[in-house]
Chains A and B, each alone.
Chain A
Amino acid sequence: MPVMSYADAAKLAVAEAMRDDLTVWCVGEDLGRGGVFKQYTGLVEEFGPQRISDAPISEAAIMGAAFGAAMAGTRPIVEMRFADFALCATDELVNQIAKARFMFGGQSRAPMVIRKPMGMWRSSAAQHSQSLESWYTHIPGLVVCCPATPQDNYSMMKAAIACDDPVVYLEHKNIWASEGEVDTNHAVDFGKAALRRSGRHVTLVSWSHTANVCVEAAETLAHQGIEAEVIDLRSLWPWDKAAVFDSVRKTGRLLVAHEAVSVAGFGAEVVATVAQNIPMKALPKRLGSPRGLIAYAPNLEDQMRVTAPMIAKAAQDMMENEPA
């Protein structure tokens, strides 16, 4: 199996889809030079500037025009450059794209992949670091996914392009260069979690880069005799309730960790859903960023970070502080 980076895995999926289907095209700023994170490098040479299209700095037009082109029969991949800038196109996404099929009585579809590189990455400060995935889970009409590994970024990109619903596709900026094996025959369906590690004492649920951090935390916990099960949701809407329920039935303990602000983050949704359905041995917990803003200075940036030691500590506490 080839080893490739998270960025290249998505690029391979895009290239394969574009070879298979002439209606697939990409649009965004600077794509002709490979995109700002080089996740499109080489594609314009193969597919030409019409299908790997540059765009003016016009996020609203990029999103709106791609939507129009989707209704006219194409399958656009929309590049928003940073998830933060996608906010400039929020009306197009939330009021138009997400609702078109329903409002028009099923006459139209919006088969679009909306790529939004997210998360904290080397002192990018408050306007280039946000994790806003929970916002989109709140919007009926959208599929939301957050791949954490090169394999998933390949397989889920394939699934997203094939999907007839609009998919908000959040790649984490901090792991563009992370490498892993990619099996191009491996398909991933939305709503199917990945079991990243099995264990019997506590269930760690996460997604995106923090899923990798949870695996790290689970390794530390293993040294202390705590076997954590790590579930990477991969897609947040739909999300794999069955996998989480099964795991919590086994472990009796649930800890959800994510990079986004804890308050009203998707961890709250997971905890509430599990609490309504599965009796647990310990109070469930969510671990996210404090409800603060992301600063430039590294030590201030770190105040907002959910780290492996924090996850391990929270899991340990759950093991120790059991209600009688």
Chain B
Amino acid sequence: MSLSNFDREAGLARLRMMERIRAFEETARSAAIDEELVLGAIHLSIGQEAVATGVIETLRRDDYILSTHRGHGHTLAKGAQADAMMKELLGREGGCCGGKGGSMHIADFGVRMLGANGVVGANITIAAGAAHGIKLLGGDQIVVCFFGDGASNRGPFLEGVNWAGVFNLPILFVCEDNQYSASTLTSDMTSGNIADRARALGLRTTEADGNDVTTLAATAAEITARIRETGTPEFLMAKTYRISGHTYFDPATYRPEGEAERMQATTCPIARQREALVAAGVPSAELDALAKEAHAEMDRALDAARSAPWPADETAFADVQDIGSPLQEAF
């Protein structure tokens, strides 16, 4: 099968983005383990890169996204700079949150990425609110809210999805189903299925293979175009798998022996996309070069972060509040 020029470029762009996400996280992981440069917990999305890539490529720059504790991929895909993100993970000056948030609170409002979140499920109502704001202002942007399978068991899931339905808001809820909630198999703690919950709340709901970036992107493109057109919320269930542990230091021994290896061998979205491109006649050397380039970019980001200074001490007191700020009165 040969690809049209358009499909070839789109396929390469998707692979490039997924390789960048993978490289960012692998670089961050080794910076954490080998050099202890990353101080707090980081949650890797290794194996889940296609969801961020396939959905976000269908958005405009002025559309909004909200993410979870596992937010590096979404943030990069929305267009944030790896440099500022890596500095944030190292807690340095120039980090996208000034070193105050770290991985779990990564955010780049410049690209309308309204934040990762340390509280599972909390972003769902907030995302509905962002869409509410768009509607009040009469804009034509849309919101995409990413959350995990486990988050669907929190109350804000019901409240946020219902809200979007009641007020008919331009939002796509994307449940990134990697099957686990930390060390718990989500299905063990979930009654019924998650997509049915969204259907029961009246949302048009699509289920997709979250590891096949090409079909996912096509599906997402249809959905986001429809949301922009109609202003009506929808729900996308993207099946994927977290190849890495819950945090970078989680050996994930709670998974059946061999599961991660088997899934990596069969479902890794990067491997699948490479295969598809090779089968369509793209030379594998070109794909290798693309991966290498991604790693080089992240190495540079890490080098820049490593040599960046700590944030100035007094910034600890800045941006808390205007009236009664700790800069004026801290005790």
Contact = CB atoms under 8 A, between A and B. Distances in A.
A291 B154 contact: no
B99 A296 contact: yes
Interface string A298-314: 11110110000000000
Contacts of A60: 155
A106 B49 CA distance: 55
Contacts of B88: 296
Interface string B118-151: 1111000000000000000000000000000011
Nearest to B153: A56
Interface stretch (B168-176, B183-191, B286-294): B183-191
Interface size range of chain A in the complex: 35 or more
27 contacts: A30-B184, A36-B182, A54-B188, A54-B189, A56-B153, A57-B150, A57-B181, A59-B154, A84-B119, A85-B119, A88-B119, A125-B101, A127-B119, A290-B326, A292-B320, A295-B316, A296-B40, A296-B97, A296-B100, A296-B102, A297-B39, A297-B92, A297-B102, A297-B310, A299-B310, A299-B311, A299-B313
A321 to B, nearest CB: 17
B197 to A, nearest CB: 13
B120 A125 contact: no
Interface of A: 29-30, 32-33, 36, 54-61, 84-85, 88, 122-128, 262-263, 288, 290-293, 295-301, 303-304
Given A124-B40, A293-B320, A300-B313, A57 B330 contact: no
Interface residues of B, number: 43
B123 to A, nearest CB: 12
Question: Dominant SS at the B interface?
Answer: loop
A92 to B, nearest CB: 11
A304 B330 CA distance: 10
Contacts of B40: 122-125, 296
A128 B118 CA distance: 8
Contacts of B165: none
Contacts of A88: 119, 154-155
A56 B150 contact: yes
A218 to B, nearest CB: 23
B100 A300 contact: yes
